[in-house]
Amino acid sequence: MKPFEVIQGSGAIILGQPHGGTWLPDTLLARLNENGRKLADTDWHIGRLYDGLLPNITIVRSNVHRYAIDANRDPAGTSLYSGQNTTELCPTTDFDGLPIWQSGQEPSADEIESRRQQWHETYHAALASEVERVKTTHGFAVLDDCHSIRSEIPFLFEGLLPVFSIGTNGGQTCAPAIETATHRLCKASNDSVALNGRFKGGWTTRHYGRPGEGVHAIQMELAQRAYLAHEAAPWAYDTERAGRLRISLSAILHDIRQLALDGTLKPTHS
């Protein structure tokens, strides 16, 4: 199994999909406890959800499950949400705060560093390469970091998550026009929306988003009730629900493409 896949397109938009993979080497699977082997914290069917929404798009997706290493965490291990519950670069618990490894099988510091080099670093090397390729071609690039999550996880947040959670780190990671268009089209769906709420953009969005230099990044976190039959195993894809959601996601991507064609996203300085 390749640790990541790259599908190159000729357009200006890149989809990052760091959490849709379910592959773990047998040596790690054997160390997970019963709870960990459920792989519950997966962005289930995220590739299928975005498939075919826009022509000429580039996709960089990780096949490695986040329990091995989280490709959307700071590689230094620093929390992006200080004072709030979260999971680590190499998680030791699931989103409910429950252990995922058998007792004594948690990753050591040396193992964390090895996983970082083997999977985190290689995924981001591929993503950075595509960002640079697209920027060289168009003068700018747009990275849409695609995520999904269960709608209710009390350990991480109170209450029911909005269907759409948009993160731009307070408007710092992309041109205002991208944030405005995305927010407007999410609200037009009549589903619940949050802009820079619980999810302000993970490490990927904050690391790559440099709009003044022509690299725009935005995170979309989707509540899984919007496209799954049930937010539990077997995590079945609901074609009807997903179809409604795909209309909104397609509209967002097409609007961003139009902003690119209009010249709105060109860098303000070199």
User: What digits encode the pLDDT tens for the residues 152-197?
Assistant: 999 988 899 999 999 999 999 999 999 999 999 999 999 999 999 9
What would the mean pLDDT of 77-84 be, rounded to a whole number? 64
Q: Are 241 and 48 in contact (CB under 8 A)?
A: no
Q: Are 41 and 72 in contact (CB under 8 A)?
A: no
User: What digits encode the pLDDT tens for the residues 96-147?
Assistant: 999 999 999 999 999 999 999 999 999 999 999 999 999 999 999 999 999 9
pLDDT at residue 86 is higher than 90: no
61 bridge partner residues: 5, 17
Residue 196: Cβ within 10 Å count: 18
Q: Are 2 and 63 in contact (CB under 8 A)?
A: yes
What would the mean pLDDT of 9-15 be, rounded to a whole number? 98
Q: Are 248 and 175 in contact (CB under 8 A)?
A: no
What's the full length of the chain, in residues? 270
User: What digits encode the pLDDT tens for the residues 198-228?
Assistant: 889 999 999 999 999 999 999 999 999 999 9
Q: Report the chain's terminal Cα–Cα distance, integer Å.
A: 39
